[in-house]
Structure 1
Amino acid sequence: RTWLQDNGYALIDETMVFDDNHYYEVLVAEPGVTEFTAQQLKFGPFNLARRPEVWQTRWQQEADRIHTIMTKLAAAEKTATPAYHAYQAARDHILEVLA
């Protein structure tokens, strides 16, 4: 999405698919101008609007993965580190979008 935005393409559709244990984002673009917010760049403007099940599953899995990392950092008494706070902010952002 960043590349599209920076190189004169407008995103006209997108979806996410799960195949062979991998998630893929399919983007459809045409020449044009698009301005995305940071949230749209990360999650996709069409996916944010449509909220397909596969997209929700992928981001819930990412939130769970980050939670596992945070749990390990907490067990190592590293909750005051910048890394822990960055993970916490990323997880909170994902959960906010999924809510």
Structure 2
Amino acid sequence: MNPRQLSARLERVAAHVPHGARLADIGTDHGYLLVALMNRGLISAAVAGEVALTPLRAVERSVREHDLGDRIAVRLADGLAAIEPADRITAISFCGMGGETIRDILARDRARLGGTERLILQPNGGEQPLRQWLMDNGYRILHEELLQENRFFYEIIVAEPGEPTRYSEREMYFGPLLLQTRDPVFVAKWQRLLRLKQQTLAGLARARQGQADEKLEQQVRWIAELLASGDGSARS
């Protein structure tokens, strides 16, 4: 991979890393994000955390190939255990994990957070419970965006410690800031999910002889209302 090029998904994550940050990338993918940002002169120090040895070796190889061993610390560790106080981390990224996994790591390892770090989160699903944790634990959502890369949709959530806005369950399901913009990618994602969830409901109805799945039915209703509304808001 060209060290200055990233996938569209990682480029959007990179865009939310503050200039000069000391960045910890947890569950790093070959260290691509850290290597690119360091080569661009956009971060001052970095920690790459991996829980498994095989991907850790890939990160070490990438860092070594770009002669960044003195600027990117590569550590075999579970979650935020990769971060040490002396690192003075100012931003933390999680990319490609499930939202519930990210939430569980943040909850379990919260004592390792300094209380000022920016969180740049790119969950693969599970966005609602992740937003719920942020709201319940003193984080303010600064930015949300949604992009499509190939046939997949990816959400990015940027949060910092601060007085959180209280959001409804429905807002956390769709993304409170994404609801405000409601761009074409947002609409396309929910159109696809509506079709898939309707198909799932129909299959469940046949298999259970009419037994309802209330949570799934609620989601289908929310999405249908969202897509039917002109301003992107779902009715009560």
* Normalised TM-score (structure 2): 0.38
Deviation at 1:70, TM superposition (A): 2.5
Structure 1 counterpart of 2:156: 26
Q: Any conservation in 1 of the 2:144–2:156 contact (CA below 8 Å)? A: yes
Structure 1 residue runs without a partner (length 5+): none
Take 1:11 and 1:87, find their aligned partners in 2: how far apart are those partners? 26
User: In the TM superposition, what are the counterparts of 1:12-91 in structure 2 within 5 Å?
Assistant: 12-34=142-164, 35-76=166-207, 78-79=209-210, 81-83=211-213, 85-91=214-220
Alignment-mate amino acid for residue 70 of structure 1: L
Matched length: 97
Judged with a 3 Å threshold, the aligned counterparts in structure 2 of structure 1 residues 28 and 91 are, in CA distance, closer, same or farther, namely: same
Which digits, 9 at most, give the CA deviation of each residue in 1:37-88, with x for residues without a partner?
A: 1111101111111101111111111110011123334445722x132x4433
Structure 2 residue runs without a partner (length 5+): 1-130, 229-236
Which digits, 9 at most, give the CA deviation of each residue in 1:3-26, with x for residues without a partner?
A: 211221100111101113221111
Q: Any conservation in 1 of the 2:205–2:212 contact (CA below 8 Å)? A: no
Identity of aligned residues (%): 31
Q: Which has the larger radius of gyration?
A: 2
Take 2:133 and 2:185, find their aligned partners in 1: how far apart are those partners? 24
Structure 2 counterpart of 1:3: 133
Alignment-mate amino acid for residue 44 of structure 1: G
> What RMSD over aligned residues (CA atoms) do the two structures have, in Å?
1.8
Deviating beyond 6 angstroms after TM superposition, the runs of 4 or more aligned structure 1 residues are: none
Which structure has greater helix proportion? 1
Take 1:89 and 1:40, find their aligned partners in 2: how far apart are those partners? 13
Higher relative contact order (CA 8 A, sep 6+): 1
